């Protein structure tokens, strides 16, 4: 009779860190989505694109372009583009974590497989990420989202004449 090995379960620390990463990323992406919607409908973004972008990378490219070309956004341009570019860089690191398939766990690491798809090939890649790296992604996501949330709030407030609730 053969025995079946039971896989090691992830530590609570890694699960909490991945959860924080997911939640903090959703906050950041919500800021991007709000900026896309407001700039598209009220700041000439519909002249930059005819439809609302859906993919994250298309949203960020759209936002950088609209902030560069709209005179009404000039005061926020540098801060917005800086935050957007930081979000783009973090997106690449977060993407592997979020869209990978966990395979092995240690107390402070996780190994996973990710299917890389390019126009010419599909290949499986193996990655390992540490607890500290996951925590760093979560922290960076929330830190990037704070200035973007302020920009999004300023844009939204300008729609109603700056009234505060």
Task: Write out pLDDT tens, residues 26-85.
Answer: 999 999 999 999 999 999 999 999 999 999 999 999 999 999 999 999 999 999 999 999
Question: How many helices (DSSP H) and strands (DSSP E) are in the chain?
Answer: 5, 3
Q: Cβ distance 48 to 66 under 8 Å?
A: yes
pLDDT higher at 4 or 86: 86
pLDDT category of residue 7 using cuts at 50, 70 and 90: low
Query: What pLDDT, on the 0 to 100 scale, is given for residue 162?
Result: 44
Number of CB atoms found within 10 A of residue 150's CB: 14
Q: pLDDT per residue over 80-100, tens digit each?
A: 999 999 999 999 889 888 888
Write the CB contacts of 160 (distance below 8 Å, at least 6 apart in sequence).
none
**Domain locations along the chain:** 13-100+132-159
**C-alpha count within 13 angstroms, C-beta hemisphere, residue 157:** 10
């Amino acid at each position: 009779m053969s025995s079946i090995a039971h896989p090691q379960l992830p530590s609570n620390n890694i699960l909490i860190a991945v959860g924080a990463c997911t939640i903090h990323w959703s906050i950041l992406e919500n800021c991007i989505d709000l900026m896309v919607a407001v700039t598209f409908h009220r700041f000439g973004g519909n002249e930059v694109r005819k439809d609302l972008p859906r993919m994250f990378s298309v949203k960020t490219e759209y936002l950088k372009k609209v902030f560069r070309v709209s005179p009404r956004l000039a005061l926020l341009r540098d801060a917005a583009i800086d935050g957007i570019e930081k979000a783009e860089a973090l997106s690449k690191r977060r993407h592997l974590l979020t869209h990978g398939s966990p395979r092995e766990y240690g107390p402070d690491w996780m190994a996973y497989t990710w299917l890389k798809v390019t126009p010419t090939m599909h290949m499986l890649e193996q990655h390992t990420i540490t607890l500290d790296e996951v925590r760093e992604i979560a922290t960076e996501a929330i830190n990037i989202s704070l200035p973007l949330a302020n920009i999004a709030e300023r844009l939204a407030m300008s729609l109603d004449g700056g009234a505060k609730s």
